[in-house]
């Protein structure tokens, strides 16, 4: 199994298990549950294995859950009729599910940490000047490995997102390998975001060439973006340069985006879990800008704007609901 696939399974198992625990209380019915957890579990033997591991760790973490719930507020604001926040017991169980996911993820993350020359933790962003004079902006929870020789400059984006400002050197091509493809600079500045074997490439200055392992190629010009995945290069689309670079200045910019997408992006900067409860919420549309240096403050702005409620387990696990 590829490491990226395994981590995606762990993350999805944690999401489904935590949401399932909360959904029971939101419905005020112990027997009520969504079928999605069980359907996901039986759809692949790997799913059942990872979920069973988390449930086992969760049982061992029973003693940890009680002190976590002590940080919950003593009273909960009034909700709409028929809805209520997850009880402390369910919140503790959901928190334990997330702790289980974190425990497993830390173990699977060790090989990447050993490979990386530069990396960031969750919520961290950094700028580094490379040996050739190029600069790299690393987004939250990102990592790169460097291989510079007399003939080439190779960068492997192991995880996350990075922006590259490339120092000119025609004798040594500058190439960023991510997933199933590679991006070679034909100019100055571009952004690559890796998601498993797929990647999004956005050019903010000049141009790049994208090449896949199967030989497919495409030239991407300034102000354009493209995604490659499944051994295919997608359609080249126009990109909003300022919005694409906003994260390097501490902002996320959205225009008519799904709330689910916005929360997922914001959650990348939060050292824990931010989870929407209810699929109807995920499809609501959002436009605006959010500061990412304080994800909790940005989340409170979303709560006020969209009239959402939040149930917090300490400062780590946050459930958003109507």
Q: What is the pLDDT of residues 59-79, one digit of tens each?
A: 544 433 333 332 323 333 333
Does residue 121 belong to any structural domain of this protein?
A: no
**Proportion of the chain above pLDDT 90, given as a percent:** 51
What is the 3-state composition of the chain as percent helix, strand, coil, each rounded to the nearest 5? 35, 30, 30
- Band the pLDDT of 276: cuts 50, 70, 90: confident
Q: Are residues 22 and 89 in the same domain?
A: yes
For residue 246, the model assigns a pLDDT of 96
pTM: 0.72
CATH number of the domain within which 181 lies: 2.60.120.1440
Q: Are residues 104 and 80 in the same domain?
A: yes
- Band the pLDDT of 139: cuts 50, 70, 90: very high
Separation of alpha carbons 243 and 250, rounded Å: 11
CATH number of the domain within which 316 lies: 3.55.50.30
Q: Are residues 104 and 30 in the same domain?
A: yes
End-to-end alpha carbon distance in the chain? 38
Domain final residue pick, 53, 87, 115: 115
The mean pLDDT value of the chain amounts to 81
Q: Averaged over 14-32, what is the pLDDT?
A: 56
Q: Are residues 132 and 229 in the same domain?
A: yes
Does residue 205 belong to any structural domain of this protein?
A: yes
Does residue 109 belong to any structural domain of this protein?
A: yes
Does residue 185 belong to any structural domain of this protein?
A: yes
Q: Are residues 104 and 9 in the same domain?
A: yes
Domain final residue pick, 193, 225, 244: 244
More confident residue, 7 or 191: 191
Asked whether the predicted pLDDT for residue 283 surpasses 70, the reply is yes
For residue 92, the model assigns a pLDDT of 55
- Band the pLDDT of 178: cuts 50, 70, 90: very high
Does residue 131 belong to any structural domain of this protein?
A: yes
Q: Averaged over 90-115, what is the pLDDT?
A: 62
Least confident of 18-22, 63-67, 244-248, 249-253: 63-67
Greatest mean pLDDT range, 19-28, 72-81, 144-153: 144-153
Does residue 18 belong to any structural domain of this protein?
A: yes
| Among candidate residues 160, 164, 159, the one with its CA nearest the CA of residue 183 | 164
Give 201's strand partners: 192, 226
- Band the pLDDT of 52: cuts 50, 70, 90: confident
Asked whether the predicted pLDDT for residue 45 surpasses 60, the reply is yes
**Proportion of the chain above pLDDT 70, given as a percent:** 72
Integer CA distances (angstroms), 100 to 36, 43, 240, 280, in order = 20, 21, 39, 27
Q: Are residues 196 and 256 in the same domain?
A: no
Q: Are residues 97 and 194 in the same domain?
A: no
Does residue 120 belong to any structural domain of this protein?
A: no
In degrees rounded to 5, what are phi and psi of residue 300?
A: -65, -35
Q: Are residues 111 and 157 in the same domain?
A: no
Integer CA distances (angstroms), 52 to 10, 44, 104, 201, in order = 11, 13, 12, 37
Q: Are residues 255 and 207 in the same domain?
A: no
Q: Are residues 149 and 227 in the same domain?
A: yes
Q: Are residues 209 and 294 in the same domain?
A: no
> How many domains does the chain contain in total?
3
Q: Are residues 139 and 210 in the same domain?
A: yes
Find the domain containing 231 and state its range.
Answer: 126-244
Domain final residue pick, 217, 244, 271: 244
- Band the pLDDT of 44: cuts 50, 70, 90: confident
Does residue 271 belong to any structural domain of this protein?
A: yes
């Amino acid at each position: 199994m590829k490491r990226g696939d395994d981590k995606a399974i762990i993350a999805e198992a944690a999401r489904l298990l935590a949401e399932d625990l909360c959904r029971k209380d939101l419905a005020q019915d112990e027997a009520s549950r969504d079928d999605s957890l069980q359907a996901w579990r039986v759809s692949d033997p790997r799913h059942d294995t990872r979920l069973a591991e988390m449930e086992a760790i969760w049982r061992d973490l029973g003693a940890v859950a009680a002190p976590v719930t002590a940080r919950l507020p003593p009273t909960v604001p009034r909700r709409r009729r028929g809805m209520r926040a997850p009880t402390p017991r369910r919140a503790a169980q959901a928190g334990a599910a997330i702790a289980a996911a974190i425990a497993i993820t830390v173990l699977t993350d060790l090989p990447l940490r050993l490979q990386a020359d530069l990396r960031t933790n969750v919520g961290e962003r950094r700028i580094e000047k490379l040996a050739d004079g190029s600069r790299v902006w690393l987004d939250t929870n990102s990592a790169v490995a460097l291989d510079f020789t007399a003939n080439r400059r190779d960068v492997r984006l192991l995880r996350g997102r990075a922006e590259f400002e490339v120092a000119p050197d025609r004798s040594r091509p500058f190439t960023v390998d991510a997933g199933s493809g590679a991006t070679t600079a034909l100019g100055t500045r571009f952004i690559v975001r890796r998601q498993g074997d797929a990647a999004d490439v956005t050019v903010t200055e000049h141009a790049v060439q994208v090449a896949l392992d199967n030989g497919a190629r495409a030239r991407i010009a300034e102000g354009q973006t493209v995604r490659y995945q499944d051994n295919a290069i997608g359609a080249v689309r126009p990109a909003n340069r300022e919005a694409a670079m906003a994260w390097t200045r501490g902002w996320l910019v959205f225009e008519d985006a799904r709330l689910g997408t916005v929360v997922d992006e914001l959650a990348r900067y939060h050292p824990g879990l931010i989870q929407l409860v209810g699929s109807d919420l995920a499809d609501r549309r959002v436009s605006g800008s959010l500061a990412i240096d304080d994800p909790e403050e940005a989340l409170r702005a979303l709560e006020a704007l969209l009239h959402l409620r939040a149930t917090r387990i300490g400062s780590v696990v946050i459930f958003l609901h109507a």
